[in-house]
Structure 1
Amino acid sequence: MPRVLVVDDTPSIRLLIKTNLELAGFTVEEAVDGVACLEQLAADSVLPDAITIDVMMPRMDGISTVTSLRNDPRTANIAVVMVTTQNHPADIQRATEAGVDCFLVKPFDPDELVDELHRAIEVRTARDNS
């Protein structure tokens, strides 16, 4: 069962993502922002297979968080799907450059989120095994 860390500062969005992912068979944990995400990952002995993350959050935004994830060898290969309202081409480019595997715009289709998470996990797993 794949594990996902849902990172978003809006409780209702975290609940929506968590509910949809649990219905699809994922094990889900939550963090309220980028700082909480990084602290949780540092404390976890078992890392998640994927992270969903928003762009706009207090303390540390999603782009900075993804950059930190990619710069840490321990977390560099976790699949990351950005789920955000920020859909300007510059935002998408910044997210891609930071290392996001997929970019979904809110409101999102729950089935598309599940499909993109599975795809991103498969791609990262195949890359790790080659």
Structure 2
Amino acid sequence: MTTLQMSNTYETDTGVVRMTPPDIAVLAVVGLGERTSILERYVREELGRILGIEPHLVDTTGRPMGCLGIGSISGIELQYRMESTLGVDVNLQRLLLANSAQELIDCLAGQFGPEAHLHGAPVPA
């Protein structure tokens, strides 16, 4: 069996973007504000890769995911990449119907840290 290698770079009109996956151990211990900031950078990079734009150009608050250009195929790809990178479940329907990328970011942020069990994450034994 082979594993799919996920690229951590992509090209835009202005050059190559190098993505930096977040450190899961860090996400588990930092406060909600910092965790949200780390995940915002990551989600911007993933959306930028799909859309072929620089991460800073991704609108995280003003447009629903569908209006950003995230449809079923790109949504499945985004779901797979996020689940593989972050080790959490990403609900595809919730991802596709999110009112904004910020809604997705907030949902992801809630799956780490001390309050994670409130968002359906497993409680450590």
TM-score (norm 1): 0.31
User: Normalized per residue, which structure has more strand?
Assistant: 1
User: Normalized per residue, which structure has more helix?
Assistant: 2
TM-score (norm 2): 0.32
